[in-house]
Structure 1
Amino acid sequence: MNLFSGTISLLENALNYSSTKQKVISQNIANVDTPNYKAKEVSFKAALDYAVDQSFSTNRTDYRHFVLHKPVDASSSVINKKLVSYNENGNSVDIDREMSDLAKNQIYYNALTERVSGKFSTLQNVIRGGK
């Protein structure tokens, strides 16, 4: 949705990122006691690359020009955590860190939804003519 500016689409991409992060954190918490489970995380760089590729396109006028558009899959932003210590059963989930990440992500998501709500109420105010 591109109404008057790209702000709403940027907020939409941020909400998608936060939603994916919520799912990954929830999976990690659910598998805290699963033997040999490797904790996952959402890569901000991969999510950013995906968002840029969605809104950025190039036109090659000559075959010698560089190809700047590379398709990135949104699911590729979920990766296994690197450099983590493992529990006795081979599990790499740190429940304290996951709960902390969950709280931070919830605050981030709430801020985004309030911002989207504010944008739509501003549009609604404009449509009504300021009444």
Structure 2
Amino acid sequence: MSEGLFGIHGAALELRSQRMAMLTANIANAATPGYKARDIDFDAALRARMTGSDAGSAADGAVRYRVPVMPSLDGNTVELANEQMAFAENAVAYTATLSFLQGRVETVTRAIRGE
């Protein structure tokens, strides 16, 4: 029922949350030697999710390692400015999706109450 009610937005919210966790891990490991920054290809993960994969396998299949512009000598591929920008962009998209879903829930709640 939630697929029909929330459409693509429920899946998008789950994937955005998973991407947020991955970007947070990248930022937290910015000084860890040998750490390889990862990100989720959101479009690929969402397509996979909408064609029947569960959220975990859809996100796992869309994980990509970042290719650094300026590789560090210790093998760490986190470029803090890029990670922070990706985090901010994802946070805005997460908030927009969440606001849409809240509006949908409020509409359904009003319909159930007969308002």
TM range (shorter): 0.7 to 0.9
The answer on whether the counterparts of 2:68 and 2:78 sit within 8 Å (CA) in structure 1 is no
Say yes or no: does 1:88 pair with 2:86. Answer: no
> Among residues 114, 117, 120, which one is paired with 2:99 in the alignment?
114
CA–CA distance in structure 2, aligned partners of residues 111 and 27 of structure 1: 23
Cα deviation for residue 52 of structure 1 reads 2.6
Q: Deviations over 1:80-103 (max 9, x none)?
A: 123643112111101011111111
Q: Which runs of 5+ in 2 are unaligned?
A: none
Say yes or no: does 1:31 pair with 2:29. Answer: yes
AA matched with 1:106: A
Q: Bigger radius of gyration, 1 or 2? A: 1
Return the structure number with greater helix share: 2
Please report the TM-score for the alignment, with normalisation by the length of structure 1: 0.75
Q: Deviations over 1:50-85 (max 9, x none)?
A: 223228xxxxxxxxxxxxxxxx93212212123643
Q: Which aligned segments of 4 or more residues in structure 1 are displaced greater than 6 angstroms?
A: none
AA matched with 2:26: N
Within-5 A mapping of 1:1-131: 1-2=1-2, 6=4, 8-54=6-52, 73-74=57-58, 75-82=60-67, 84-130=69-115
Q: Which runs of 5+ in 1 are unaligned?
A: 56-71
3-state SS, counterpart of residue 79 of structure 1: strand
Aligned residues: 112
* RMSD, matched Cα: 2.1
CA–CA distance in structure 2, aligned partners of residues 111 and 45 of structure 1: 17
